[in-house]
A and B are shown apart, each in its own frame.
Chain A
Amino acid sequence: MVDLTSEFDSDTLARVLDAGRSMGADFSEVFIEDKRSVSAGLDDGKVEQVTSGRNRGAGIRVVAGDTTGFAHTADLSERGLIEAAQAAAAAARAGGGGTKKVALSSPRRHPVNVVRVLPGSVPKSDKVALLMRADDAARGVHGSIVQVSAGYADSVRRILVANSDGVLASDEQVRSLFRVSVVADGDLGMQTGYESMGHTIGYELFEHNDVGDLAVAAARQAVTKLRARPAPSGAMPVVIKCGSGGVLFHEACGHGLEADLVAKGASVYRNRVGELVASPLVTLVDDGTMTAEWGAIGIDDEGHESQRNVLIQDGILTDYMWDYLRARNDNRSQSGNGRRQSYADLPMVRMTNTFVMNGDSDPDDIVKNTDRGVYVAKLGGGSVDTATGDFVFGMTEAYLIENGQITEPIREGNLIGNGPQVLADIDMLGNDFAMGNPGTCGKDGQGVPVGDGQPTLRVKSLTVGGTAA
């Protein structure tokens, strides 16, 4: 694939940026995106459809004082870009004022992901064959499997960012994803299993990982749950398996450390830098440079190089995550967290790969030291109210812990807690760090790919939302 900077010469981009500031704005930015996607879905034993698509366009952002104007267009001719820039300038309503000519730097690239096999170089029939393989593998696990659906998806997203501060940067983000959902039917009704894998690499993902293994894992999850008891109800210790749910931290504190929410006083972590906000066992990092991970990016969607940011060190809050606007307001540097779903969206502060680093405990000891509680082997999604810190997350595969041993599987349900309280209540942290499943984080209606990870850990008290006494 050709780098986008070779398709748009810097003189053209400079003229577009000038047009953005023609009404006196102090900042203009052009974000160009060309994204090609292929997906294929299997359900009920059939490859129901193969879909491919392309979205290509530019978003122009103009900032005048505290006001941002934004317009986007699918017309990437110079005329189309300049019209969009004028619309954005009018939207920002700066009024009057002169302009300073923009001088762009030479293009910058900061590749953090290495792609060996571009998805476009692989016949679609190979991708479809993966689906059939997953279907066969899942159905072979047990006679109770009544339904299997599987999905393959890849995308190649080329982006270019130029702004009136002289930044000119580009990146190519290649992602490959596979997911399997299984339904098993038994005496107590139907149960589901779900597994997925996704990385910011090309088709080589499937050389190192067998979709059959993934399908078998999903099928076993569903079959195991057929004998699940109702989940308990009330507050109790909860042990969370390594790599099963960094979503806990994503919700319990990740969102609350986004500088846009902090600036509006909509975070329980506002004004708390330098304070103890978690158990001293906890060191939390957001790292866009983790090669090949689902949330890895070379540059963010504002042209800033991705970086590794330590947010909580030994329980003490060290920093928030920043985008261009919030960093400018606070007169500090960006942290590579300005992201957007597509060229049609404004960037905002977003996570990349968010994880908790290893502790010292043997994961087996964590279970042995728990008299009665819940062991969560797989977490589902979650959500948080950042202003109150109240968050929920779902357990999709979980077991009772009785007398220091993992015993019966339990049915699905939500866990609920309050971020700062739960962070303080982490009393054991394992030494078995693993990354979790690929995720899509939603904020203000925009979804972006994010990764998460953690070692096995115990929260000494969390409310389990089941129905059993």
Chain B
Amino acid sequence: MSTASPASGSTPDSVRHLQDIADRIVAQAKPGEQIEAYVSRARETDIRIYEGEIEHFVSAQSEGVGVRIIRNGRTGTSYAGTLDVSALEEVLAEARENAELGSVDEWAGLAEPDGVPVVPQQLWNEQLEHFPTEEKIAIAKRLEKIALAADKRVRVEDVSYSDVFAEEAFATTTGVRSGGRENGCYASVGTLADDGDETQTGFGFSVGKWPGEFDLDKAGREAAERATRLLGAVKPPSKRTTVVLDPYVTAQFLSIIGSTLNGESAIKGRSLFKDRLNETVASSMVTLIDDPTDSRAYTATDLDGEGLAARRNVLIEQGQLKKFVHSSYSARRAGTKSTGNATRGGLGGSPGVGCLALQLVPGTASQQQLVADIDDGVLIQMVQGLHSGVNSISGDFSTGASGLLIRNGATAEPVREFTIASTLQRMLQDIVAIGGDIDWLPMRASGVSLVIRDVTMSGA
């Protein structure tokens, strides 16, 4: 969210309006109460094209408020999906009632301004605001054509254009007052490739602050490639091997690693790496940074989920664990300061803790150069079922995968319907090379080619 703290000056009227609502709620605090108000509003467009025609056109507007009250160490929260005045009063009353029911927690409390300056970011794009609807439709239609033209075996399952315009404001009795707005757009295509009785699937996407930043040719080409490259894929034999993770897969792996560096989990004894600060937890080539102030990151932002400035944090440096990420609550419990990593999963509930924009410090080699150093291995291009096969508390890692075998330094035949497995602890230690091909993907982590040895491949 682009910010003004406190909201004033160049802040658009619509954000100021949200800030006023937040301020009014907080002003109703009774003696001994801490109140946080979070107010948001969003507009979204979603256009789906199928076979050259509009399949659906969704025009959505939403708004809502979330209130957190802390009194005598007890926390209560409430929310409503409306900004009606009558609803606001009900939300405040409900939060107050709920705060009677929680346990007393000596560390309970809201964020307080910490003096860390907000790094200004360009999160709002006027060109997107004025971009004509007809051209949004045309973009989706063009992307469908590009994917179809890339390979005659390819069909398009669906193609979408979507954009979102979001505004938010925070206020707390502890003095946080911040807010801002952000917009962005996304085009994506899902493909099917047929060869005889066999069908494989692929996808491609492009993101931007406005459609002028799209690379539709790349999105369409990748969607066709992802589907066709798996045609004829077989189930490989089971064995221990070396894997090269494609940047898209690495980004998902880093997101899981990031979840183990959650400071609240560490305090509550749920992190693999609790009590391991300053110890070696990864190969010495690993430096992992969470940096939402890097404007190249898709999830770059200036405020965290409590309205504090987002900031750069080095989590693992040359293999050594340097830091867990914290919200103001987890930091208070751990006897440290918030790292600006409070996250908010919607209007309701207290903020959680999480990494915002992870990146691995890249090496220099291209993916092809990394593959050239491997006699026998697999290039993992897609994974399936990370949510069901990875336990970030025990560290067990097992995921469905597809990709290309690597033989004598070159990629060979496609393989699918197998799993790769290890543990998160081992995988971090077993990283043997990091590529230079950093890719700023639409996730909370960027990707880069990553080589990990001694992984079990289970297939036939």
Q: Is the CB of B199 within 8 A of A388?
A: yes
Report Cα–Cα, A84/B66, bound state, in Å: 25
CB-CB under 8 A from B63, the residues of chain A are 74
Q: Bound complex: CA of A48 vs CA of B389, how far in Å?
A: 29
A258 to chain B, nearest CB (A): 13
Q: How far is the CA of A388 from the CA of B192 in the complex (A)?
A: 9
Q: Please measure, in the bound complex, the distance between the C-alpha atom of A34 and the C-alpha atom of B440, giving whole angstroms.
A: 40
A87 cross-chain contacts in B, Cβ below 8 A: 59
CB neighbours (8 Å) of B411 from chain A are none
* A interface footprint on B327-350 (CB within 8 Å = 1, 0 otherwise): 000000000000000000001111
B-facing residues in A281-321 (Cβ within 8 Å): none
Segment touching B, from A50-58, A99-107, A195-203, A400-408 = A50-58
Smallest CB gap from A87: residue in B: B59
Q: Complex Cα distance A426/B200, Å?
A: 25
Q: Tally of A-B residue pairs with Cβ under 8 A?
A: 253
Q: Does the CB pair A47–B102 fall under 8 Å?
A: yes
Cα A233 to Cα B388 in complex, Å, equals: 17
Establish whether residues A380 and B388, one from each chain, have CB atoms under 8 Å apart when the complex forms. Answer: yes
The answer to whether the Cβ of A67 comes within 8 Å of any Cβ in the partner chain is yes
Describe A's contact surface by its main secondary structure. strand
| Least CB distance, B64 to chain A, in whole angstroms | 8
Nearest chain-A residue to B200 (Cβ)? Answer: A388
User: Which of B98, B388, B418 is in CB contact (< 8 Å) with A51?
Assistant: B98
Chain B: residues with Cβ within 8 Å of the partner, total of 75
At the interface, yes or no: B385 with Cβ under 8 Å from chain A? Answer: yes
CA distance A45 to B107 in the complex (A): 14
CA of A466 to CA of B398, assembled, Å: 7
Q: Check A55 against B398 for contact (C-beta < 8 Å).
A: no
In this complex, how many residues of chain A approach chain B with their Cβ under 8 Å: the count is 79
Q: Are A50 and B192 in contact (CB under 8 A)?
A: no
Q: Please provide the chain B residues from 86 to 125 with a CB less than 8 Å away from any CB of chain A in the complex.
A: 87, 90, 94, 97-99, 101-105
What's the Cα separation between A346 and B46 when bound, in Å?
Answer: 11
Query: Cα distance A447–B430 when bound, in Å?
Result: 37
Contact with B along A262-288 (1 / 0, CB 8 A): 001110100000000000000000000
Q: Are B59 and A416 in contact (CB under 8 A)?
A: no
Q: Which of B6-14, B49-57, B214-222, B278-286 has 4 or more CB atoms under 8 Å from chain A?
A: B49-57
Given contacts A388-B200, A391-B384, 8 further A-B contacts (CB under 8 A): A51-B77, A54-B81, A68-B55, A68-B56, A92-B57, A189-B272, A412-B394, A466-B456
Closest 10 CB pairs of A and B: A465-B419, A394-B388, A414-B389, A392-B385, A413-B398, A392-B400, A46-B103, A50-B98, A91-B57, A381-B388
A residues contacting B by CB (< 8 A) are 37, 39-40, 42-57, 66-74, 87-88, 91-93, 124-125, 128, 146-147, 183, 185, 189-192, 225, 231, 233-235, 264-266, 268, 344, 346, 380-383, 385, 387-388, 390-394, 411-414, 416-418, 463-467
Would you mind naming 29 contact pairs between A and B with Cβ atoms under 8 Å apart? A39-B349, A44-B268, A46-B105, A51-B349, A52-B78, A57-B81, A67-B53, A67-B56, A70-B57, A74-B81, A91-B58, A92-B57, A147-B269, A183-B270, A191-B393, A233-B238, A233-B457, A266-B192, A381-B388, A383-B385, A383-B387, A387-B199, A390-B402, A411-B394, A413-B389, A414-B419, A465-B398, A465-B421, A467-B398
